[in-house]
Amino acid sequence: MRTAHGGDLIEAGERDFLHALEVARKQGTRLFELDVLASLHGWYTQSGKPNPHQRKFQSLCDELAKNSPEPVPVREARALLASNGSRD
């Protein structure tokens, strides 16, 4: 599928996620970053592409999981990682 500007929709979707990830990192919003990484994880899984952000996703999950009680987004992200295994 192609956009009106000739770009691939898949590439445009990936760019949008990566932009959101950049914004989250600049703002220092760790849970928003986790949400974007979880969305990227699902996107890469569905597209069949390797996830270059897998290690960062796992690392951020582990870091945020140290909080007590563990925030719901962290539990959901850890479950997502567990259900899809470690794809790099």
Whether 47 shows a pLDDT value over 90: the answer reads: no
Q: What average pLDDT score do residues 41-66 get?
A: 89
Q: What percent of the chain has pLDDT over 70?
A: 83
- Put simply, whether the predicted model's pTM sits higher than 0.85 gets the answer no
Question: Long-range contact list for 25-33, CB < 8 A, 24+ apart?
Answer: 30/60, 30/63, 30/64, 31/64, 31/71, 31/73, 33/60
Whether 1 shows a pLDDT value over 50: the answer reads: no
